[in-house]
Structure 1
Amino acid sequence: MAFAQPREDAHKGEAANPSSPFGMGELEQRAKKLAAKPFTKDEGDLPDFLSNMDSEHYRDIHFKPEKSLWREERLPFQVQLFHRGYMYKDRVAVNLVSGGQVQPVPYSSDFFDFGQNLFPAAPPPTVSYAGVRFHYPLRKGDGQEDVAVFLGASAFRAVGMGQVYGLSARGLAIDTGLPKAEEVPVFKEFWVEKPAPNADKLTVYALLDSPSATGAFRFVLRPGLATTIDVNSRVYFRKNVDRLGVAPLTSMYFHGENTDRFIDDFRPEVHDSDGLLMARNSGEWTWRSLNNPRQLRISVLKDISPKGFGLMQRDRAFDHYQDLDARYQQRSSLWVEPLGDWGAGSVYLIEIPSEAEKYDNIVAFWVSDQPALKGQERVFNYRLHYLLDSSLEPDGGRVVSTRVGLQAAGSNKRRFAVDFVGDELKYFSDKAAVEAELSASSGKISDVAVTRNSETGGWRLSFVLEPAVDKDVVDLRAYLKSGGEVLSETWLYQWSAK
């Protein structure tokens, strides 16, 4: 169904300064001025028939491919837009930038195919958009492919060749995991820089706003086998923030090989990510296997200027998921590479109990030891890597599976089996002196064994944990070694009976 074209008074973003080319400097000034004003949420002019629609009806609204911006110019990148509605209520202004000059994209219902939706009236011209999507020819001769999406608050996703959308990144996380309501920042306006005819990268600017902070963000998207996004940001604080999460990642873990309670599902595993990987400044790599806990869990991994962290999907075997539609084995891993010195702080991992795969229940982000105070300006720069492989990881032993189960009927003891693989490990013979450095924060460990696993070409660590009666949570830590040589990353796990 089509509606009339918008009037000339259609909603537009704040006009850029016509006397100077648009760029990061002007966006920073705009964010700084915005931080000096009271926060206002922009959900106006959204009719009830859009605001109250369900997910099924919203999914029936599609941007018409033939209307893609820059399509007629045959540029390597094309832009599509999302309509507001359902849970995407925030009004988002979109602008194109060419030669430093800004051209707002006014709302047009003609951009969209509304499917089977029958609206009582045409959406008003001031309805604007909910987000943007970018297309690029990842494979020669295959035409344009969906490579990045900015939709919903400050969330965005991207994929590389052969990857499927899974976890999301966000602009900022504010007060996540605290005993109070989480604050949700929003990208309220975008500026997309027109690429050259042979460009292999796209520059996108975004203005972030929330009750506690504003931000100027620049994203440089480079699609490819492993797509990367360079993120440059400057944040301005309206008020003190108790917990500022930088480079936040949001994912889903419903159940997997380590789930030690019954899940009524024909699929063996359901998750977008199966572990948090961290490269410490000391050179140590740590792997924290994810779980769907019975109660909220928060893990804090302290470091000074870490080399990186990410939520990874290491399990790439279709047989472990058996889901032809979701294709969890092709979900992107997302690695955060800090650019510059981030100083002292911690990587936070928050695992939230979930009863369905539709909920994102895993969050990871960096929290600086430096407090975020009213009136401050802070700069955070980093590179995001979207991966299918382990190309950014060391050649040593990597954890590929964690299994947990009851040791014996009537017992509270739990048996663990942790498999490590790696190019170096496969050359050790069955009789090599490979052992484990293993510890637990409480309880008693017994029956420790390190055995070559001929099925994986790696080594398996197995042991029994007898939890202490008065301790709800047990933090476990282990790595493989041979003499004084460390052979693997450090495996971390948090187990609880509750």
Structure 2
Amino acid sequence: MSAHTLSRRGLALAAAAVLTAVCVLSATTRAHASGHAFSFDMVKAQAKALATKPYTPDSSPLPDFFKNMKYPAYYEIKSNLDNLLWRNERLPFALGFFHRGYLFPRKVAINVVQNGKYEEIPFSEDHFDYRKSQYPGGRLPKDMGYAGFVIYHAYEEGGRYKECMVFLGASYFRVKGEDQEYGVSARGLAIDTVEPQGEEFPVFREFWVEKPASDAKKLVIYALMDSQSVTGAYRFVLIPGLRPQVDVQSEVFVRKDIHKLGVAPLTSMYWYGENTGRFPKDPRYVDDFRPEVHDSDGLLMHTGAGEWIFRPLINPKRILGNAFSDNNPRGFGLMQRDHDFSHYQDLEALYHIRPSAWVEPGGGWGRGHVELVQIPTDAERYDNIVSYWVSDTPARKGDILHYDYSVTFAHDQIPGVPPAGRAINTFQMRGGMCGSDPCPDAVPGSHMFGIDFSGGILGDLPTKAPVKPDIWVSAGRIIKPVAIPNPYDHGWRVYFEVAPPEGDPRPIEMRVFLKRGDDILTETWSYVWMRD
């Protein structure tokens, strides 16, 4: 893992602790006898039994050197790449481990499953390279445990191992493809995100990893979840590649009533982009040579009714939550659509090769909503974007919930997602301008928006095709709507202005799509003008 990735994840967890009343969660583990029988039903049974008992925080001891460690010292404890688990057997997958310490003091048990039996992996200093750290030396106990683990994959037979998946911190996991960099994160569950009582972060307290065969194309991981409100059994199937996919099965046992349970949560970062002001007098101005800084630039949804909706992200001045009601959603995800290096100019963070994450439910999830939470940030080191599914049926004590889904990570467009034209750029500025001067017919207080649509059949349409924008606003009136061909993006650009109602400072919601006669040519662009 890169320094940037670890720093972002660690500081994101720290930020969550500041923003919400985060509970200290547990990972009390126990040693298992070698050759213990294993099955997914066993993990489910453990989760069910655990739910009948009071939640117990982790009390595993940790030496002060690691307990008081700061980020620079933690980062200097490297994985020993010469001693990855299964490396010497040249299996298609290998495991490395994360040391306990810094923001990751919790002990996590990690087991290997082989031939229907499992055995816990004892702690060993041989899995780490301490040479650049300040660790004074001395043998650490075998029950020290790990903070998490990283999965490596050899994409070609006999090829070099490359990172492809990480489990570290609470129930977070990250995935990247062969030519990707880590970006958006997924996690097991989100509980009471940005609620007044404070967010609860369930943890994976124990893992079981199936030892792969010599020709394995997939890796199977099981996890036991625990928190004050839930326990759960999870099964992950990792399918690496250019567009890696993780298939998730979950059975969740509810310990107590939950106000808001977020399913298949995704977490990301958005500091600024092309929809952010680039002039010093603009309140959204950022003094940085990089044109854009973000892991994701929009929320995409495929509704149960078949509509595709894209919501560009913003960095609001106050916490902003939006709920998009649906029935049996077909998919949703945090997307990174812009993959042009010149739009980022970052040679270290490599935002242009960070993936989108697309969730597809398995089976019907019923009525509920996709929730998008956007939190103000003044730096790229904080994750400030969260999205997840919330059922209309509240989670009550004693409930057993089943959610199965897949998450695809891609830094190009996932085929058919969406099948028609898509919004690739969003611009905004003061309305009523003719160049750098006000137009004679300028409407005071108006705001101009520009959207570039590309893909589908848009690039094949003649320049005089009768393409029209269909625009809706929640308040105010629409001024000067127009759609014109954009040959540089092989699509069409929409311009329009919004004149807000006098004396009403509330945000204004907008929806735009392109049509030709009765034919809808694009997804629906959905946006909010915050007016602050």
Secondary structure of the corresponding residue to residue 282 of structure 1: coil
Q: CA distance change for structure 1 residues 139 and 413 in 2, over 3 Å: closer, same or farther?
A: farther
Structure 1 residue aligned with 2:430, among 406, 410, 426? 406
Is 1:488 the equivalent of 2:522? yes
Q: CA distance change for structure 1 residues 471 and 154 in 2, over 3 Å: closer, same or farther?
A: same
Q: Which amino acid aligns with 2:167?
A: F
Q: Deviations over 1:330-377 (max 9, x none)?
A: 001100010111111110000000010000000000001111000111
Q: Is contact 2:479–2:496 with CA below 8 Å preserved after alignment? A: yes
1:77 matched residue in structure 2: 93
**What is the Cα deviation at residue 180 of structure 1?**
2.2
2:472 matched residue in structure 1: 439
1:288 matched residue in structure 2: 311
Q: Deviations over 1:218-250 (max 9, x none)?
A: 000110121111100000011011100000000
Q: Is contact 1:16–1:22 with CA below 8 Å preserved after alignment? A: no
Structure 2 residue aligned with 1:372, among 374, 395, 404? 395
Q: Which moved more, 1:466-475 or 1:63-72?
A: 466-475
Is 1:466 the equivalent of 2:483? no
2:359 matched residue in structure 1: 336
2:12 matched residue in structure 1: none
Q: Is contact 1:278–1:285 with CA below 8 Å preserved after alignment? A: yes
Q: Which amino acid aligns with 2:527?
A: Y
Q: Which amino acid aligns with 1:306?
A: P
Q: CA distance change for structure 1 residues 416 and 130 in 2, over 3 Å: closer, same or farther?
A: same
The correspondence of residues 22-101 of structure 1 with structure 2, limited to 5 A, is 22-101=38-117
User: What is the count of residue pairs matched by the alignment?
Assistant: 487
Structure 1 residue aligned with 2:264, among 239, 247, 263? 247
**What is the Cα deviation at residue 49 of structure 1?**
1.8
Distance 1:29 1:352 in 2: 38
CA RMSD of aligned residues (A): 1.7
Is 1:213 the equivalent of 2:230? yes
Distance 2:467 2:311 in 1: 22
Distance 2:406 2:323 in 1: 22
Q: TM-score, normalised by structure 2?
A: 0.89
Q: CA distance change for structure 1 residues 233 and 14 in 2, over 3 Å: closer, same or farther?
A: farther
Is 1:126 the equivalent of 2:160? no
Q: Which amino acid aligns with 1:46?
A: L
Q: Is contact 2:424–2:453 with CA below 8 Å preserved after alignment? A: yes
Distance 1:395 1:102 in 2: 44
Q: CA distance change for structure 1 residues 450 and 136 in 2, over 3 Å: closer, same or farther?
A: same
Secondary structure of the corresponding residue to residue 78 of structure 1: strand
Q: Which amino acid aligns with 2:231?
A: T
Structure 2 residue aligned with 1:269, among 284, 292, 295? 292
Structure 2 unaligned segments of length 5 or more: list them. 1-27, 278-283, 439-443
Q: Which amino acid aligns with 1:270?
A: V
The correspondence of residues 104-253 of structure 1 with structure 2, limited to 5 A, is 104-119=120-135, 122=138, 123-139=140-156, 142-253=159-270
Q: Is contact 1:12–1:106 with CA below 8 Å preserved after alignment? A: no
**What is the Cα deviation at residue 15 of structure 1?**
3.1
Q: Is contact 2:505–2:531 with CA below 8 Å preserved after alignment? A: no
**What is the Cα deviation at residue 16 of structure 1?**
7.3
Q: Deviations over 1:381-414 (max 9, x none)?
A: 0011011222241331100000111225895321
**What is the Cα deviation at residue 295 of structure 1?**
1.0
Secondary structure of the corresponding residue to residue 127 of structure 1: coil
Q: Is contact 1:45–1:124 with CA below 8 Å preserved after alignment? A: no
Q: Which amino acid aligns with 2:377?
A: S
Q: Deviations over 1:166-198 (max 9, x none)?
A: 010000000012122100111111100111110
Q: Deviations over 1:297-347 (max 9, x none)?
A: 111111111110000100010010000111111001100010111111110
1:384 matched residue in structure 2: 407
**What is the Cα deviation at residue 146 of structure 1?**
0.5
Q: CA distance change for structure 1 residues 452 and 140 in 2, over 3 Å: closer, same or farther?
A: farther
Structure 1 unaligned segments of length 5 or more: list them. 1-10
Distance 1:125 1:97 in 2: 20
Q: Which amino acid aligns with 1:251?
A: S
Q: Is contact 1:475–1:495 with CA below 8 Å preserved after alignment? A: yes
Secondary structure of the corresponding residue to residue 147 of structure 2: strand
Is 1:356 the equivalent of 2:356? no
Identity of aligned residues (%): 46
**What is the Cα deviation at residue 53 of structure 1?**
1.2
Q: CA distance change for structure 1 residues 151 and 76 in 2, over 3 Å: closer, same or farther?
A: same
**What is the Cα deviation at residue 68 of structure 1?**
0.8
Distance 1:426 1:43 in 2: 60
Q: Which moved more, 1:120-129 or 1:44-53?
A: 120-129
Q: Is contact 1:442–1:471 with CA below 8 Å preserved after alignment? A: no
**What is the Cα deviation at residue 259 of structure 1?**
1.1
Q: Is contact 1:158–1:227 with CA below 8 Å preserved after alignment? A: yes
Q: CA distance change for structure 1 residues 12 and 376 in 2, over 3 Å: closer, same or farther?
A: closer
Distance 1:263 1:168 in 2: 25
Q: Is contact 2:31–2:120 with CA below 8 Å preserved after alignment? A: no
Distance 1:70 1:426 in 2: 49
Distance 2:221 2:62 in 1: 26
Q: Is contact 1:208–1:216 with CA below 8 Å preserved after alignment? A: yes
Q: Is contact 1:275–1:313 with CA below 8 Å preserved after alignment? A: yes
Distance 1:243 1:12 in 2: 28
Q: TM-score, normalised by structure 1?
A: 0.95
Q: CA distance change for structure 1 residues 66 and 120 in 2, over 3 Å: closer, same or farther?
A: closer
Q: Is contact 1:13–1:189 with CA below 8 Å preserved after alignment? A: no
Distance 1:84 1:92 in 2: 9
**What is the Cα deviation at residue 17 of structure 1?**
10
Q: Which amino acid aligns with 2:301?
A: M
Q: Which amino acid aligns with 2:95?
A: V
Q: Which amino acid aligns with 2:179?
A: G
Secondary structure of the corresponding residue to residue 48 of structure 2: helix
Distance 1:264 1:375 in 2: 52
**What is the Cα deviation at residue 139 of structure 1?**
4.2
